[in-house]
A and B are shown apart, each in its own frame.
Chain A
Amino acid sequence: MARAPWAAPADRFPASPSKSLFPYLFTAVFVGAVLFSLRAAQVDPRLLFEGGAMGNVGRFLRGAFPPRLSAEFLGLMLRPALETIQISVMGMAIAVLIGVPFGLLATSTLTWRGVLHERTTPRGRWGLGFGAYAAVRAALSVFRAIPEYVWAFMFVRAVGLGPFPGVLAIGVAYGGMLGKVYSEILENVNPRPLETLHAAGASRLGVILYGLVPQALPNVIAYSLYRWECAIRASAILGFVGAGGLGQQIELSMRMFQFDEVLTLLGMLFILVAGVDFVSGRIRVRLA
C-alpha cells in the first residue's frame, strides 16, 4: 500500500539546500560600491547652498517665469518641434532596420544553441551559426557602448550640421539597444512551438514566421515604442551638438540667457514626450 506523503515520519526532512555565501557577498559588494562612489563622485549636498548657488538657481527661475508664449515665438518653434519628432521617427526606423536582422542573428536559440540545433551538423552549428552570432553580438555591443551623443558628434563631422546626423546617431545607438533586447525577447519565448515546427520540417525562416514572431511581437512592439519615447528625449539632447530640433533651440536660448524661452521649449518637449507616451500606451493596450 502506497503511503500518503503527509504520513512520512518526522525524522525525514528534505535535506536543506547548501548554504551559499553569494547573498552576503553580493550585499557587501553593493554597499561597498555605493560608499566608494559617494566619496569618489564628490557628492556634497552643502555645495548646493554655498556661495551663489541658490542665487543662480533663483536667477534662472526668475528669468524663466513667465514663459515666453508669444504667438510669434511659438510659431517659430513649431518647425523645430516637428523636426524633433521627425528625427526620432526616422532614427527609430533605422534602429528597427538594424535591430531586427541583428537581433535575430544575436538570438542564440536560433543560431547555434538549443532544441533547434540538436541535429545541426557541426559546421552549420559552430561555423555559420556561432560565428554569425558572436560577430553580431560584438557589433551590437559597440553600437550601444558609444553614447548617441558621441555618435552624433561623429556624424556631424561626417555629414555636416542638421537633422541627418541626429537621425544616424539615434539609428545606430538605438539599433544596438533594440537588437540586444529583441534577441533577449526572442530567446525567452516558449520553445515548444518552435520545436514542433522544426520537427515538421519547417525551415529556420518558417520557424521564425510561425513560431517566434507571433509569440514575441507584442513585447517587441512595446519595447520599440518605449524606445521611441526615449528617442524623442535623445533627439532633443542631440540638438546641443548641432543636430537640429528643439535641442538646438534650447541650447541657443540658454546661451543667450533667454530662460523664458527655455521654459517654453521644455514645456513643448514635455508635451511631445507625454503625447508619444499616450499613443504608445494605447497601442500597447490594443496588443495585449
Chain B
Amino acid sequence: MYELGGIRKVFASGTTALDGISLRVGRGEHVAFVGPSGAGKTTLFRILNLTLRPTDGTLVLDGTDVAALSDAALRGARARIGTIYQQHNLVGRLSVVHNVLAGNLARWSTLTALISLVRPRDLPGAVRALAQVGIPEKLYTRTDALSGGQQQRVAIARVLVQDPDVILADEPVSSVDPSLAVSIVSLLRDLGHESRKTLLVNLHSVELALTYFPRVVGIRDGRLFFDLAPDQVTRELLAELYEGHRDDERQLESLPDGKSTLGGACRPLPGFAK
C-alpha cells in the first residue's frame, strides 16, 4: 500500500519534523504508531494523506510515486485515503447528515454537492454509516450539539461513506475519555477488518496500541525507533522511546506487567499480507 523511502520534512521555521523515515505498509495491514508528543507522528500522517509534501524522500502509494502527480491526480489519490483527526474537524453548524455525506465530495459533482445541502442525496448511505458507528438516531442533529465521543463517531461515519482503501486515524481518541477510547479504537479495528481496509493509527496510549494492533511502530525525534509485533515491544524499549517526556513516561507505569497478553490475540487476519 505505502512505501516510504527516507522521508524528511523540514518546516519553513527550520524545525526538522521527520528525519529519514523508511517504511512499508502492506494492503489491509493494521499498524499503530506510538511515540512522545512532538516526535513527528502527525506530520507523518499529513504526508501519508497527501496534504503535506515531504522535503526529501519518496512516497509510493500503490506503486505510484505521488511526487509526480498533477493536482487532479492528487485529488483522486486523496479520495482513496480517509483521515480521522484528533479534533473532530467537523462543521459544527451543519447537521450530522451533511458532515457524513461530505465523504462523497470526491465523487460528487459540485452541483450534486450543492443540491445535497438542500435535499440530502444518498440518505441510505449516511444512515448505514451512522448505524455502523452506533448513532443512527443523530442523523438530523446539529453536529455541535453532540458530545466529543459522538462527534468522533460522526467523523468515522464520514470516512465510511468515503469508503477509502486506507484509513489514517491521527490520535483519534485523545479528546475522549478512556472508556470511550477503547470502544472507538476497537470500532476502527473492526471496521477495518470488515471492509478489509489498511488502518494506520497514531495513538497516545501505548496500552491501546499494544492491545489492538498486530504491528506497532515507535517514532522518536522524527526517526523510526522500532517496528515490531506487540509481544516484542519490551518495557525497556518503551522506556527508551519516551525518555525525557515525563507525562508520557507516567503512562508506562500503569501498563500491565510483562508482555502484553492481548497483543498476541490480534495477529493479522488470514489472507492479509503482513
Contacts and interface: CB of A to CB of B under 8 A. Distances in A.
Interface of A: 2, 115, 118-121, 124, 192-193, 195-203, 205-207, 209-211, 214-215, 217-218
Nearest to A210: B102
Contacts of A2: 246, 249-250
B106 A214 contact: no
B103 A200 contact: yes
B106 A209 contact: no
Contact of B117 (A192, A193, A197, A209): A209
Given A121-B71, A124-B71, A205-B110, A200 B162 contact: yes
Q: List the 10 closest pairs (A to B, CB-CB), nearest first.
A: A201-B79, A201-B106, A202-B105, A206-B105, A201-B78, A196-B89, A192-B89, A2-B246, A205-B110, A210-B102
Interface string B60-96: 0000000000110011111111110101011101100
B229 interface: no
B75 A199 contact: no
B150 interface: no
Contacts of A202: 75, 102, 105-106
B110 A118 contact: no
Given A119-B74, A200-B159, A215-B91, 5 more contacts: A121-B71, A196-B90, A201-B162, A202-B102, A206-B113
A192 B86 CA distance: 10
A100 to B, nearest CB: 14
A118 B102 contact: no
A118 B113 contact: no
Interface stretch (B14-22, B45-53, B208-216): B45-53
Given A197-B105, A198-B51, A199-B81, A211 B91 contact: yes
A200 B83 contact: yes
A157 B90 CA distance: 51
B11 to A, nearest CB: 11
Contacts of B103: 200
B228 interface: no
A207 B93 CA distance: 15
B51 A214 contact: no
B105 A199 contact: no
A119 B50 contact: yes
A45 B106 CA distance: 66
A8 to B, nearest CB: 13
User: How extensive is the interface on chain B, given as a class?
Assistant: 35 or more
A201 B75 contact: yes
A210 to B, nearest CB: 5
Contacts of A206: 102, 105-106, 108, 110, 113
A199 B50 contact: yes
Tell me what chain A mostly uses at the interface: helix, strand, loop, or mixed. Answer: helix
A210 B50 contact: no
Given A197-B102, A198-B78, A118 B53 contact: yes
Nearest to B110: A205
Listed residue (B70, B110, B117, B249) with the most chain A CB atoms within 10 angstroms of its CB = B110
B98 interface: yes
A193 B49 CA distance: 15
B114 interface: yes
Contact of B105 (A115, A210, A218): A210
A141 B160 CA distance: 45
B164 to A, nearest CB: 8
B242 to A, nearest CB: 12
Contacts of B51: 115, 118-119, 195, 198-199
Contacts of A218: 93
B118 to A, nearest CB: 11
Nearest to B247: A2
Given A197-B102, A215-B91, A120 B79 contact: no
A199 B49 contact: yes
Contacts of A124: 71
A218 to B, nearest CB: 8
Contacts of B94: 210, 214
A202 B51 CA distance: 12
Nearest to A125: B71
A201 to B, nearest CB: 3
Contacts of B49: 199
A195 B110 CA distance: 18
B108 A199 contact: no
Nearest to B95: A214
A147 B128 CA distance: 56
A2 B102 CA distance: 45
Listed residue (A119, A120, A214, A215) with the most chain B CB atoms within 10 angstroms of its CB = A119
B195 to A, nearest CB: 16
Contacts of B250: 2
Nearest to B70: A121
Nearest to A202: B105
